Chain A
Amino acid sequence: MGSTKLLQNMVLAGGLALSATSMAATPSAAMLAGTCAACHGTNGSSVAVIPSLAAAPAEYFVETMKAFKSGARKATVMDRVAKGYSDEEIALMGDYFAQQKLIPMKQGFDKTKLNQGKRLHDKYCEKCHEEDGRKPDVGGILAGQSMMYLTFSMDDFLSGEREMEKDMKKKVNEMLKETDKSSIESLIHFYGSQQ
């Protein structure tokens, strides 16, 4: 450890010791994350329609929770839940889930659609959602998520209920111009097939 870091560590430890009262009222990351598991799966790997949180970048988790909290992103339940956590607690949960390994969801898929989806993915999506959507990125992780959840998400993006990020909007519009609406379904089968 370099001397600057050591100094930081000492200063920090002193500072934390002084604020012991406020620290005592913050649950640990594992404690907070444990409250999510009944819906989002053990350690954030879901076996059903509610999305997995495991391995998603902390930034994505934090941004999403803040959007639920402010109402910028609509939700069925999460808008009510997100308001129950402080920014500090959300940051702890984000880091916790980012460190978990994602266990992809077991689900049925159509082989023809997945092949078409793979071609579409390579052409329109791979640039941001790298490694066939397995690499954590600005949109979390696509591969291994519930296909029904991905369908809900795309429905919301296409209806305008949920705002698409600029690059995504461009690529999705390009794809829908050059193909038809079944391309969305094919992509979803491709992401869902990766188990």
Chain B
Amino acid sequence: MISRRNFIKLSGGAVAAGTLVGCAGGMGRSGGGGKVVVVGGGPGGATAAKYLRMFDPSIEVTLIEANAKYYTCFMSNEVLGGDRNLDSITFGYDGLRRHGVRVVHDTVTQIDAAARKIVTKSGATFSYDRAIVSPGIDFKWGAIEGHSAEAAEIIPHAWKAGAQTVTLHKQLLDMKNGGTVVIATPSGAFRCPPGPYERASLIANYLKKHKPKSKVLILDAGDKFAKQGLFIAGWKKHYGYGTSNSLIEWVPAAQGGKVEGVDAKGMAVQAAVEKIKADVINVIPPQKAGKLAFDAGLTEGDWCPINKKTFESKIHANIHVLGDASNAAGMPKSGYSANVQAKVCAAAVVDLLAGREPGFPSYMNTCYSVVGDDHGISVSIVYTFDEAKNEIIAVKGAGGVTPSDASAEALRREAHYAHGWFANITNDIFG
């Protein structure tokens, strides 16, 4: 009888002998080299660059990213109430350099798919065998009347972390006790579906401790939201939700919650039913793929259509798109999704460069949300691939959210695990 371990060893040997090409994939083995240019140094792009080098050090990898620092959107909600500082969500690219990634800080101005060339603002040209584009999100400013990049300097979105996060944090610090904080959620597919509700939770947690006469008013573009039951249970437990003194009030679209216009100078939002004045306004605009994706002709509607096994664009061959900008429906737009998609994509690129059929993918997403002190919740889903339909589908009978009867100890641990996840994912991306 052959033991499992021998079985794997033997089948590995068979692959090396060339009798079973394509079964085990090419990860971990040196191939024939090749040039890959990665555009965008967020969770998707940075992970892809690093894992390409880990999977196959014979590949030359260049990462082009405009900024020297990246601020993660995940955990930025903890910066808003002062639970953590901006430094703790700030990452540089030295880790990637240590993996042999050539990091170039420049802005891509053109991707020539036919010539397989990328041109930057400084005039440099980068040729590639395969490109990986991970430009993140951009905002649909026209969707809400009166809203613009300029208006967002006064009423920050804070949905790309960094300066916007700091602005919103400072506004909360300066707000009077008894003030109203409006959070307007976006319609359509958007980055981090539970994010606006975690934000409401953590702002309420700050208000509870420092400005208890204040409240958070969530004006929702929809009628339901991610982890809704768990959030509401948490709000009841910590913030008096449902009582007249609640620190959080949620207005769904069906009750006039959808924000249709903003008046940044007048500090007001126009919701479907009434105009609401507030002391701090956080309108998170509807979203689409990052500008570069549109410039490069990689989009169809708001997002980039892809082969979900390899993340290769369905529009331009040899260009892969991943992360929030891609239409990887099935999976939510999250840091975890981008991190996993990057590994699936990197493995496929290694195989394709070596002339092998890409291996079968595996995906997963776990999103933690911090609801309050010692109170974390999560959603975790394992995904597989339906080749015939080009669909990413959740594995049946698995995954789901924190059980509604989870003990206080389980919720306390989930809060710790949320922070543990943050340390590990950022190390996996940038370390």
Contacts and interface: CB of A to CB of B under 8 A. Distances in A.
Interface centre among B2, B347, B423 (most CB of A within 10 A): B423
A41 B427 contact: yes
B344 A31 contact: yes
Contacts of B347: 28, 30-31, 34
Interface stretch (B235-243, B298-306, B355-363): B355-363
Interface string B1-27: 010111110110110010110111101
B363 to A, nearest CB: 7
Given A8-B10, A31-B347, A48-B419, A17 B19 contact: yes
Nearest to A152: B413
B395 A9 contact: no
Interface string A3-39: 0000011001100110010011111111110111111
A148 interface: yes
A27 B364 CA distance: 13
Nearest to B399: A80
B417 interface: yes
A91 B4 contact: yes
Contacts of B399: 80-81, 83-84
Interface in B334-349: 335-336, 339-340, 343-344, 347
A183 interface: no
B24 A39 contact: no
Name the prevailing secondary structure of the A interface residues.
helix
Nearest to B402: A76
Interface in A31-73: 31-32, 34-42, 46-50, 58
Nearest to B337: A38
A20 B360 CA distance: 12
Contacts of B344: 31, 34
Interface in A86-102: 89, 91-92, 95
Contacts of B55: 30
Nearest to A82: B398
A39 to B, nearest CB: 5
Given A35-B363, A76-B402, A13 B423 contact: no
B421 A50 contact: yes
A38 B424 contact: yes
Nearest to A92: B8
A73 B124 CA distance: 56
Contacts of A39: 366, 417, 420-421, 424-425
Contact of B431 (A12, A25, A42, A50): A42
Interface of B: 2, 4-8, 10-11, 13-14, 17, 19-20, 22-25, 27-28, 51, 55, 335-336, 339-340, 343-344, 347, 359-364, 366, 378, 380-382, 395, 397-400, 402, 406, 410, 413-414, 416-417, 419-425, 427-428, 431
Interface of A: 8-9, 12-13, 16-17, 20, 23-32, 34-42, 46-50, 58, 76-77, 80-85, 89, 91-92, 95, 146, 148, 152
25 contacts: A16-B11, A17-B20, A23-B20, A23-B23, A24-B22, A24-B360, A30-B55, A30-B347, A31-B359, A34-B362, A38-B366, A39-B421, A42-B427, A47-B424, A47-B431, A48-B423, A50-B417, A76-B378, A77-B378, A81-B398, A84-B364, A84-B382, A85-B382, A89-B362, A91-B4
